[in-house]
Chain A
Amino acid sequence: MISSTMAGPARLDSAVRLVHLTKTYPNGPEQVAALQGVSLAIQPGAFTAIMGPSGAGKSTFLNLAAGLDTPTSGQVIIGDTDITELSSDAVTRLRRRQIGFVFQSYNLIGHLTVSENIQLPMLLDGRRPDEQWQQALIDSVGLTGMTERLPSELSGGQAQRVAIARALITRPTVVFADEPTGALDRRTGEQVLDVLRGTAKRFTQTLVLVTHDPQVAATADDVQFLADGRLAGELVAPTTSQIAARLVELGR
């Protein structure tokens, strides 16, 4: 879908590859499977939307793929590293270098300014962000002139823009976003999504987005559907109505 001749962060066949990913949770004496044998490869620079009814395992999927949780079995390969083989601290280090994450609830640190929040993954990694890159990013997400504010002085949309800039500052291999517009009204949500999508496109950033909004998903290069912890098909460059129809089908 996206040609590999573009200057991506890494020239690999896939930015993210999931191999037979399974996650079970103990529930009394039994095990409940949240995810069962999911395999998927996401190409560098692609914009993939993950959809599915509530309880389909979307959040589990995202948390496993982003290294926030460990799978019961299976592999998660980011770039060319299998993170399931790494120690917890090594995963953390890889996460902050190669994975960006945009949470539904912003997750900004309240007593850090906007620019400090954005720089945080770099600082944690012992690096100083490139001034020009940071400025370009801040301009791109529309936060010009707000860098000294505290998160409490921002609107929800602005806070999520900060979170987007924070996810992109390290030029990660992949950015995961977990319903990033879920807490925003439609108009602000659309703007924030435009920012996320536009910035990802501008900087050829691989983007994996969990959403329940067909309109949002329709702007993706492809849409993967999840149901009952399994992949339930894929639509390439679909329309909103195609997605909606598919969701209704899955919800049955």
Chain B
Amino acid sequence: MWSFARSAVRAYRSSFIGSFLIVMSAAALLSANGVLMESGLRGDAPLLTTVAASFAGTAILVVVLVVASTFASALRQRNAQFALLRAVGATPTQVRAMVTAEVAIVFALAAPLGAVPGLFAARLLTPVLESGGIVPGGFELAISPLPVVGSLFLLFPTALLAARLAAREVTKASPTAAVRGASVEPSSLSGARRTTAVALLVSGLLVAGTPFIVPGTLGSAAGATSAFLLISAAALAGPAVVGMIARRAAHATRSSSNAAVMLALVNSRGFSRRLTTAIIPLALFLALGTVQTGVNGSMVDAAGMQLRAGLGSAVVITSADGVTTEQAAAVASTPGIDAVVASSTVPAEVKVDSDEDLGGLSWEQTGLRVVSGGMSGLVDVGVTAGSMDDLTGPSTIAVSSESLFATGKGVGDTVELRFDGGAEVSSTIVAVYDRGLGFGGYIIGESSLPSSDREAAADVLFAQGSADLAPIGLQTVSVDDYVDETVAGAASQQELGAILLFVLIFFLAVAAANTLVMLTSARRPEFVLLRRIGTTRRQLASMISVESVFVMVMAWAIGTLSVIPALVGVAYGMLGGFSPAIEWPVYGALSGAVVLITSAATMVPARIAGRARNR
């Protein structure tokens, strides 16, 4: 069995190179992510744990989908060979064992080659982690073999399952049926597959509706995952959908005398499975980029909107080095200015969940907004219960409704706080408010803060009225300018997220291109046959162009359709509107990339294959 597998690896070099590359980059991606996660847990950098964990969710989903589809398409090309083996006496068990052996060979070589560099590549992120304030300066990432083991643990069964599923069609059928059926792919779906696709579709649409019920970032984050559910539904239903559309298109162009278009469409009709494996990674590429940037963008927009609404007609008073207590007192006594609120941010960890301590996980890193002075009439954070005036009392806190979501807590309950100096405080909730994105999840009165953690200078003052404050070294800014500045700052804080997202969509782009190259290279015999019966090179080239346009359009349509429900939900949850939260420049760039990847990855190998002589 091993010698068979070894010679298969040699004979199908191009498709193995494809699988090899994908396993390598998948292992690198997962082990780098694992390093971040492990360092966060060990090095007591809870924010790093949070970021790495939230990235891991998406990354694992994407990697599993990609690895599975790569192995499936690499092995599907060889159905004819497996059928032949069955016909000459290989039992289904032997064919399965061979597939397992081949997957194992690829893994044994590729996974270490990817995972080990991935461990060290994570270190490249240290500067970004430091500048984004996710880890303290001088933080060392912990390097251990655990992430490598973890990524193998995840990838190997995935690949094995996908490979066996791909070979299953052959191993299930009788040898003769297998030999006969090997050249065409059925576009019909099995009952279980259809049921799963429908279930995924329905749950995708339901999940997309979460923001209509659950408020704020939580609901939106949940809603955003609907894009993946819908893509998975498309992946399962793909052969039927692609086959149907190609059949319709072939029917519609029946009277056309353009042979290239006709051939391309009947090819798509006949190989809907093969095409689905090419379309899905591309659609995922578009969907992932669009949905993540859309969610991030609308989160920033929503924060700006809440801030603007909450500040109303206030003026914002700042200086480059913060506002000292003396300056604040001077402002308060300036004629024409009244109702001054000083605001600053203090880092702290919050434990909302009163459950057992789950390692470092139940303490959540956050920033507390510390205010002094009466907020009523000046800053409206959208109080839904209690009163912000009670913040003057000892050990009190106001919490956004989102931070309290699903904890079952409300006014009168307590929240545990832990500060940098190690001081732990148990604060009583006196108010619950809505505008958490704009003003932060927690607001605390200065008097409730341990004295060691009080800042020397406030970040800003919010006040009413107008006066020239230049003599005491302060400037007034309009609310609009202040909001714009804050929003720009928030966007740059998402740098790490943006880098991780870029790595992930780059991985997807490689995977999509790789699948297309594998599929096109494997069609060499078909191209030779077409040349033999009188297809010119130009016709072959235009046939391939039409096919790649078909792939492009399908990928673009599936990618777009699968994110729209999520982005409509997010837009509603964050901004209260119904127009989907799409970052148009990003969407445009990703759509362009889909076109580029598809054309490059089909035309180039097709040119090489097309050079084949006609005999």
The residues of A with any CB-CB pair to B shorter than 8 Å are 63, 68-69, 88-89, 92-93, 95-96, 101, 103, 107, 109-112, 116, 120-121, 123-128, 150-152, 166
Contacts and interface: CB of A to CB of B under 8 A. Distances in A.
A127 B534 contact: no
B259 A151 contact: no
Contacts of A150: 184
A151 B615 contact: no
B266 interface: yes
Contact of B532 (A68, A125, A126): A68
Contacts of B452: none
27 contacts: A68-B532, A68-B614, A88-B537, A89-B536, A92-B534, A92-B614, A95-B534, A96-B533, A96-B535, A103-B532, A107-B529, A109-B529, A111-B183, A120-B533, A121-B534, A123-B257, A123-B263, A124-B259, A124-B533, A124-B539, A125-B259, A125-B534, A128-B255, A150-B184, A152-B180, A152-B184, A166-B533
A152 B183 CA distance: 8
A92 B266 contact: no
Interface residues of B, number: 31
B614 A152 contact: no
Interface in B576-615: 613-615
B78 to A, nearest CB: 15
A252 B259 CA distance: 50
A183 to B, nearest CB: 14
A128 B180 contact: no
A127 B531 CA distance: 18
Interface stretch (B136-144, B267-275, B414-422): B267-275
Given A89-B537, A95-B534, A121-B533, A126 B183 contact: no
A28 B537 CA distance: 31
A242 B615 CA distance: 34
A96 B434 CA distance: 74
B529 to A, nearest CB: 6
B184 A110 contact: yes
Nearest to A96: B534
Nearest to A90: B536
B172 interface: no
A169 to B, nearest CB: 11
A138 B257 CA distance: 21
A112 B270 contact: yes
Given A92-B534, A92-B536, A96-B533, 19 more contacts: A63-B615, A89-B536, A89-B537, A92-B531, A95-B534, A96-B535, A103-B532, A107-B533, A109-B526, A111-B266, A123-B257, A123-B259, A123-B262, A123-B263, A125-B259, A126-B259, A128-B255, A151-B183, A152-B180
Interface of B: 180-181, 183-185, 255, 257-259, 262-263, 266-267, 269-271, 526, 529-539, 613-615
A95 B539 CA distance: 14
B529 A111 contact: no
Sorted from nearest, which 6 A-B pairs have the closest CB atoms?
A: A111-B270, A96-B534, A110-B183, A124-B259, A89-B536, A68-B615
A19 B596 CA distance: 49
Contact of B535 (A69, A116, A124): A124
A126 B258 contact: yes
Contacts of B535: 92, 96, 124
Contacts of A95: 534
B267 A111 contact: yes
B475 to A, nearest CB: 72
Contacts of B270: 110-112
A121 B526 CA distance: 15
Contacts of A152: 180-181, 183-184
B614 A101 contact: no
A111 B257 contact: no
Nearest to B268: A111
B593 to A, nearest CB: 30
Given A68-B614, A112-B270, A124 B529 contact: no
A107 B184 contact: no
Contacts of B536: 89, 92-93, 124
A114 to B, nearest CB: 13
Contacts of A92: 531, 534-537, 614
Given A126-B258, A126-B259, A111 B534 contact: no
Contacts of A89: 536-538
A109 B259 CA distance: 14
Contacts of A120: 533-534
A95 to B, nearest CB: 5
B257, B258, B537: which has the most chain A beta carbons within 10 Å?
B257
Contacts of B533: 96, 101, 107, 120-121, 124, 166
Contacts of B183: 110-111, 151-152
A103 B532 CA distance: 10
Nearest to A153: B180
B246 to A, nearest CB: 11
A225 to B, nearest CB: 24
A118 to B, nearest CB: 11
Contacts of B255: 128
A88, A92, A151: which has the most chain B beta carbons within 10 Å?
A92
Contacts of A88: 537
Given A109-B526, A111-B269, A150-B184, A124 B534 contact: yes
A28 B279 CA distance: 46
B531 A69 contact: no
Nearest to B255: A128
Nearest to B526: A109
Contacts of B537: 88-89, 92
Nearest to A99: B534
